Structure 1
Amino acid sequence: MNKMKPLIKKVFTTFVVSCLKLLRFLPLPIIHGLGVVLGLISFLFNKDHRDHAIRNLKQYNLTTNKTGLIGLLFKCTLENSKGALETFAIWFKPQSQVIPWVKKVFGWSDVEKGLQSGKGVIFLTPHLGCFEITSLYYGARHPMTVLYRPPRQKWLLPLITDGRERGQITLAPANAQGVKQLLQALKRGEAIGILPDQAPLAGEGEWAPFFGHQAYTMTLASKLAHKTGAQVFMAFGERLSFGRGYNIHIRAVNAGGIDTPTLLNAEIERTIQQCPAQYLWMYDRYKVRNQPPPPAL
């Protein structure tokens, strides 16, 4: 039986991937519609997932009463499920079919000005809205190097690589070699992309408040900005209702705006508050990766 387990796992993985690839044949309204159905099922029957999300949302103090909390949780659950399905659809669909899903881009002229400096630009994209569409849109126009952390599920790695490395996008692993790639891209005057709200590994961050609670926060973005003089932007892809597409929001961060982890988290909070229902509240932002406990606020 033990000898059969790898074969069974391989067959199951192949089946799952084949099913996910079917999403490339569907229009965005259908994909988001299926996401709503999936979200409803999760909201009603996945108690562990729901309880974890409620604990997180209570910490953030975004609502003042239980009714508001449940309402926000319901919206978040539906949006997160849409996000899960749209991610695979974006990975598997041809780039030429995905780019037209972007309806408006706010702040693009600031990006072009930032590129003219020749010092590169840093895009900080939190787990907000559709974070796959932003890099794909930019990579269709200019070269970009995106930092990523390889998934625990090995079968996902080739999907991530094939889905994201399109146009002029290059992936850089979250290690010393990847950081070197980011620095080289900035020195060439190109763009890089980083998820600023991802919990860093031990020794790669500092404790700083995030929605009123201490969170271990990366220092990489500020170090790269200081070293290169690159212009920093906060960016996210707002998911429009009824599968109508996405609006990309890009906001320039003033010089020194992310000098400390506290300032960085304040910029992330400001961005999330533009569209709180589409943030990945289920992500454990406060998890500990073998670093010392946080100081008291």
Structure 2
Amino acid sequence: MVTLFKLLSAWPLWLLHGVGAVLGWAVFVASTVYRKRFLENARMAGLSWRQVRGAVAESGKLVAELPRLWLGQPVPVVWEGAEHVQHALETGRGTVFLTPHLGCFEIAAQAYADRFSPGGKPMTVLYRPPRQSWLRELVSASRHRPGLQTAPTTLSGVKQMVKALKQGESVGLLPDQVPPQGMGMMVPFFGHDAYTMTLSVRLVQQTGATILLVWGERLKWGRGYRVHVQPMTMALPTDLRGAVTAVNRAMEALVLQCPQQYLWGYARYKQPRDLL
């Protein structure tokens, strides 16, 4: 598989996205479980098939673009809202970047590392190591690059992120990712209770860091990506449940900006697994 990834990393982005679109539809048609979850998640968000059908192909592109993003040459990236990042870094309080499973969530961290880390402010991203050994090694090697560090979903990883923020650096999380048992709470997401991580809120409360909302839009015809950055418009409530609920509402707002690139097939409402 590693050899295949290396071969695919040399393909042009438009070709990978084309193959990925076909793959996305193939999985949607072939898997009853996946198709049912996709449609149900969209329905619970109050969206029609017309509003989300584009996400079928985009989900396949998400997988197909990984070899290029992990192992290939840099891809074109444009920014919208980069001034918010610059301002946050200048405060020296640390920055927590939050993005849902929307668009290409790999590109935001890479683009940050390329543009802002040379100034001495690296980003640490939270990730759950894959269970397959070959994929775990590949992910670790590809995500650990100049200006970009990784932190596992463990106590040591949390300590690593707290330390980074206290040094005025940045961290990145996907707050709509279902955390292990004991690391979240049930709060509404699109009007339905979902087990939601508390880590993003705890990091902000403990360090006084700035929150920025970010997502990477996948441009048509393999033209690259547009990284959108915006501040969180409301202050976090002081109580934990209220703050976590506010983060979920912010994620909902981002998803509704471009529902055709959200990962509707993700098992957002599943029961959390035990922390290993």
- TM-score normalised by structure 2 residue count: 0.91
Give the distance between the partners of 2:124 and 2:113, measured in 1 at CA.
9
* Structure 2 counterparts to residues 139-154 of structure 1, below 5 A: 139-140=113-114, 141-142=116-117, 143-154=122-133
The 8 Å contact of residues 37 and 264 in structure 2, kept in 1 or not, is answered as no
Unaligned 5+ residue runs, structure 1?
Answer: 1-15, 64-68, 292-297
Cα 1:290–1:163, aligned 2, differ >3 Å: closer, same or farther?
A: closer
- Give the match for residue 200 of structure 1: 179
Distance 1:174 1:184 in 2: 15
User: Which residue does the alignment assign to 1:101?
Assistant: 76
Structure number with bigger Rg: 1
Instruction: Give the percent of matched residue pairs that are identical in Structure 1 and Structure 2.
Output: 42
Alignment length (residue pairs): 265
Q: Is 1:50 the counterpart of 2:25 in the alignment?
A: no
Distance 1:247 1:45 in 2: 31
Aligned to 1:262: 245
> Are residues 1:272 and 2:272 paired?
no
Give 2:60's aligned residue: 81
Residue 17 of structure 1: aligned partner: 2
Match of 1:59 among 32, 44, 64: 44
**Amino acid in the other structure paired with 1:132:** E
Partner of residue 113, structure 1? 87
Which residue pairs with 2:162 in the alignment? 183
User: In structure 2, which of residues 99, 102, 112 is the aligned counterpart of residue 128 of structure 1?
Assistant: 102
Letter in 2 for 1:236: W
1:37 to partner: Cα distance: 1.9
Partner of 1:9: none
User: What's the counterpart of residue 219 of structure 1?
Assistant: 198
Higher relative contact order (CA 8 A, sep 6+): 2
> Could you tell me whether the CA contact under 8 Å between 2:183 and 2:199 is conserved in 1?
yes
User: SS at the partner of 2:257?
Assistant: coil
1:31 maps to 16
Q: What is the root-mean-square deviation of aligned Cα atoms in Å?
A: 1.7
Unmatched runs of 5 consecutive residues or more in structure 2: none
Report the TM-score, using the length of structure 1 for normalisation.
Answer: 0.85
Deviations 1:11-50 (A, max 9, x none): xxxxx33222211111111111111221232233333321
